[in-house]
Amino acid sequence: MRTLAITLFGICGLSGCTADPVRVACVGDSITFGMGIKDREKNSYPAQLGRILGDGFEVRNYGNSGSTMLKKGDKPYWKQREFAAAKAFRPDVVVIKLGTNDTKPQNWKHGGDFAADYRAMIAEFRALKPAPDIYLCLPVPVFKTRWGITDEVVNKDVIPAIRGVAKATGATLIDLNSPFEGKGGLVPDHVHPNAAGATIIAETVAEALAPAEAKK
């Protein structure tokens, strides 16, 4: 597995830096996809992340609306074409933002499998050659229960589970929950951030990927 000290901002060695961009796969649900965002091709968080990181990166959006981490969920990400496409991309970095749809009652009744399924997905990505660096995102707050998605399950169950998976696997954790505290206006339907909210996600992810650059 290449460390970010090597991959970020050029892959460098004694002979200099390669011209190949760092490939970043943004894996997730409708929040990653950019549901509800006007001109999502330009304003979804992966699109904004690509602009922040610059020409040394190729960032692709593999969000699939409604998807769950749970294999027994009503729409498992595992069965969506985006999962296969993300692996075929052979990413250097994988940013996973799943768990919001898992909170729906019909899905969370299988919540006991959530951590194991998450670890299994990480293992599939790490089986790629070379193995990518893996980042796990804590979900954005749910400001009002919609479509069965509840903030109570996000906070009491999903977030602790993701923290545990990060610790067990050595993946890097990105907190997308705290930056939205008191910012319900950026989540107009109470679940999906608008373009300004997507900017917060993109900036937070960029800082996690490249803290030294973010501080310049």
Q: How does DSSP classify residue 200?
A: H
pLDDT of the residue at 211: 54
Strand partners, 26: 61, 95
At 189, the amino acid letter reads D
pLDDT tens track for 146-171: 999 999 999 999 999 999 999 999 99
Q: Is 116 in a helix, a strand, or coil?
A: helix
Question: Are 174 and 135 in contact, with CB atoms under 8 Å apart?
Answer: yes
Domain boundaries, the chain: 4-214
pLDDT tens track for 63-105: 999 999 999 999 999 999 999 999 999 999 999 999 999 999 9
- Asked whether residue 174 carries a pLDDT value surpassing 50, the answer given is yes
- Asked whether residue 136 carries a pLDDT value surpassing 90, the answer given is yes
To the nearest whole percent, how much of the chain has pLDDT over 90?
Answer: 87
Domain 4-214 CATH class label: alpha beta
Q: Is 135 in a helix, a strand, or coil?
A: strand
